[in-house]
Amino acid sequence: MSPRAKNQYPAGWDEARVKAVADYYDNQTDEEMVAEDEAAMVEGTVVVVPPGMVIEIENFIAKLKAQRGDEQLDG
Query: What is the CA 6 to chain-centroid distance, rounded?
Result: 21
Q: Which DSSP symbol is given to 7?
A: P
Contacts of 71 (CB under 8 A, 6+ apart): 65
Contacts of 9 (CB under 8 A, 6+ apart): 15, 17, 18
pTM: 0.47
pLDDT digits (tens, 9 = 90+) for 23-56: 999 999 999 999 988 887 776 677 899 999 999 9
**14 compared with 47, residue with greater pLDDT:** 14
- In three-state secondary structure terms, 37 is helix
Q: Is the pLDDT of residue 72 over 70?
A: no
Query: What is the CA 25 to chain-centroid distance, rounded?
Result: 12
